[in-house]
Chains A and B, each alone.
Chain A
Amino acid sequence: MEQLNTISDLSALSNEKKETGETVQYIVVRLGEEQYGIDIRYIDNIVRMQRMTRIPKVPAYLKGVINLRGEVLPVMSIRLKMGLENDEYQRATRIIILKLEQEGNVGIIVDEVKEVVTLGEDQIEKMTYDSKDGKANFINAVGKHNNELISLLDLSSITLEENV
């Protein structure tokens, strides 16, 4: 039921006008005060925050594992991965389940899921790589939508494992 609620929330949000040409749908999430976009094609599911089991001796950003319909799924904090403050779990906190080809499914924790936007090619500006800025490494483009900027997350670098 939890999942159904959130998914119907989501579809309610997605009454966006379709743009012509190459368009990609992004789910806009909030982390702190900033907005980030996640390519909807990589999203398997969005679930509410739930009881998590800690795993010892793993990097701090790996928050633990959850039970998602009988499967054990690792959950990571992109806040910690990006060097932000630790997550504070609130009512709006969600786990976004990403489907990755190599590693299987992984959950990431976001402060809030806001809406679904459709961005055309002309609304996306590729980022130039800046090695000094650690945070920028996780973003590969910026999308413009209703006079707001959305940082588009580079999922491969976020989910890339740090070899400790």
Chain B
Amino acid sequence: MDDLILKSGQRAKIKTDSVNLFYGSFQALKNVTMDIQECAITAIIGPSGCGKSSLLRLFNRMNDPIPGVRVEGKILLDDTSIYDKSMDVVALKKRVGMVFQKPNPFPMSVYDNMVFGPRHHGIKQKARLDEIVESYLSQVALWDELKDKLKGSAFDLSPGQQQRLCIARALAVEPEVLLMDESCSALDPESTMQVEGLMEELAKKYTILIVTHSMEQAARVSHMTAFMMMDEDRAGTLVEYAPTEQIFANPKDKRTEDYITGRFG
């Protein structure tokens, strides 16, 4: 509970207000309103198809290329509306990083993976790039393992190492928010523990949002938990959003209780 008190005084990094998301005529999200705390881990849980990933991908506009996508309502990042016409989507993606479900290293060396983002954002000096590689690989506890293999292919790493590399690569462009879309689901238990430990560390500096299928994971790492479900129209809705301890110990909504006690989903 200490954590919760510690976090409760913090401000909201992202605010959503009555957000509806449509793919063509299909409504994927209905009336989602939530504030996401700065420098905390917020977990989004719920059964398959409830719109968790769709919601997450709204925050860095990864849904944009999907044909027929339409967003209603407001999503604010530090009080700027990210679906505003004047929003620079590329700059937004730099501020809101993302780690995917499957580790997705690029087909190049570990070093080139790490500097891929920074280089495109204008950092050219070798010394500065070296510094970035060391500093972010250290943050994800990979530096000691990989410092002699920087020129080796990223494909040669274990899945756990690959995922941590992807996290480091995302951090290297200095985002403020990190979105993690079931980022541990392809990992073995040991790697999962490592990544979870890393998340807790990162939450001191970054606002972290995770989508997870594992309620245990949400309970272990997150400060806040959002429970989502499909309504009768198959649109995703936010059922309950509260501090993680409260959701798991004392859920207010009957549906949340059913889900976390394993009665469905």
A and B together in one complex: no
Which chain B residues have a beta carbon within 8 Å of chain A's beta carbons? none
